[in-house]
Amino acid sequence: MSPLIALSLCILFIIGLFVADYRRDASRRVTTWVPLLWLLILLSRPLSLWINPAAVHADVPYDLTEGNPIDRLYFSSLIVAGLIVLIIRRVRWFALIGNNLLIMTFVFYCALSITWADYPFVALKRWIKLLGDYIMIFILLTEENPDETVKSVVKRVAFILVPLSIVFIKYMPVYGRMYHRWSGEVFYGGVTTHKNTLGLLCVIVGVLLFSYLCDVLRKKEDTLRRVREGSVYVLLLVMIVWLLILARSSTAMVTFAVGIGVYAGLGFSWVRRRPDYLGLFCLSSLVLATVVLLLADFIPFVVSLLGRDMTLTGRTQFWEDLINTRNSALIGTGFDSFWLGDRAAWFWSEYYWRPNQAHNGLLEVYLNLGLIGLMFLVAILISFYNKSREELFTNYDRGRIRITLLIVALLYNMTEASFKALNPLWFLLLLFNMEYGRPGSVSATGSSGPGGAGRRPS
């Protein structure tokens, strides 16, 4: 099949999915397209690489300080559009800030850290993009039905990016495949630019689609609609599993399996009746997943003894070098500034794969924001866990997906770094953690607003 025919059929398939799903009220709001366009880029590739997939990447880390004008224009336009939406809605800013004071304080600390960054102007531009994450989250939280709106946006992202990834890999290799710098080995990225980012796309979209499938199967009314909607989810999940196998990302495959397992496990009736044991359940899941992840990295290690690249062993030396880097342990190098200048140049000269992240979420935050930033992150994660646990008594199903996302994020960040701006996993954690209540209505957390009482599951 020619690439043009394959792409045309894929576009028709995507349009068909959109038309079939367009009956939901939340899907019809034009304003939801602003965060959708934001997420489409976060989960795929920069707009400049959509336009020119063969664009030359940075040869030296100093090139990263300039950025790309096309990407800058894209993000700036969406940020301005998002601000206009929030102004028209007359958002209660004090409610947003007051209900999320810990996160907003962390954002302020990130801004303060710009003052001691080596490249303050670059850090400022990146911090403005960070604000874009929050603007998009505010748009979703201030919808009439935030949960349904988020569901609609996630489905639309899946409708577009999952089928396109398959077409790119099979029929448009200039977009969907990349090759090892030295060995020439082929890697599959789909709509993304790396096998690991393709894996992250599959993890995020796959776990959420699985939760939507479980919701559909649990419903009793309108059998025809359940079959039709459930079939779409099953088809997309099959595509995602195929992409995960092609991506060959151990972290992504283990995280995906654990995410689905945790969500399914929390659905058992004996677990629903015992939400007080959630901490034990989460700890057991993390320990088991960590063992599986270590085993997944141990197998490539055995292969490495026969002459192939090592994975976890290579990272341990890398992590040691990062920790021994001379920078302030208390305040770090400044917001999103570690991988710039001479430091990044040294690591690029020492490691052929040209790292641009610490491959560990906690370590990445420590390098950029120091122990203070790390304490903020830990506090946010603990707050997220506490809110999720409380929500099991008021809206069990939403608390269930929040707990699943938390475990997925913690596991994924053992070998990758996603606790940072413009990362879709961090975006989702913030989205499910932040609140914007309306008096007398259902709040953004899904629990009852003032005057409403939640009910413990029985």
E strands in 185-329: 186-188
In whole angstroms, give the CA distance from residue 47 to residue 351.
Answer: 28
| Type of residue numbered 416 | E
Tens digit of each residue's pLDDT (9 = 90 or more) over 153-165: 999 999 999 999 9
C-alpha 434/C-alpha 165 separation (Å) is 31
d(CA 122, CA 251): 31
Span 229-254, pLDDT tens digits: 889 999 999 999 999 999 888 889 88
pLDDT over 70 (residue 455): no
Tens of pLDDT along 364-411?
A: 999 999 999 999 999 999 999 888 888 888 888 888 899 999 989 998
- Please report, rounded to a whole number, the percentage of residues in the chain having pLDDT higher than 70: 81
Report, as an integer, the average pLDDT of 94-116.
93
Q: pLDDT at residue 22 above 50?
A: yes
State the pLDDT at residue 154.
94
For the ranges 15-29, 136-150, 223-237, which has the lowest average pLDDT?
15-29
Residue 245 Cα distances to 10, 241, 307, 330, angstroms: 21, 6, 23, 41
Q: Model confidence at 310, in pLDDT bands (50, 70, 90)?
A: very low
Determine the Cα–Cα distance for residues 449 and 199; give it in Å rounded to an integer: 37
Q: How many CB atoms lie within 10 A of CB 202?
A: 31
Mean pLDDT of the region 60-87: 85
Contact 143, 407 (CB under 8 A): no
Does pLDDT of 278 surpass 70? no
Higher pLDDT, 378 or 356: 378
The amino acid present at 247, given as its one-letter code, is: A
Residue 167 reports pLDDT greater than 50? yes
pLDDT of residue 372: 96
pLDDT digits (tens, 9 = 90+) for 175-189: 888 876 666 678 899
pLDDT, position 144: 84
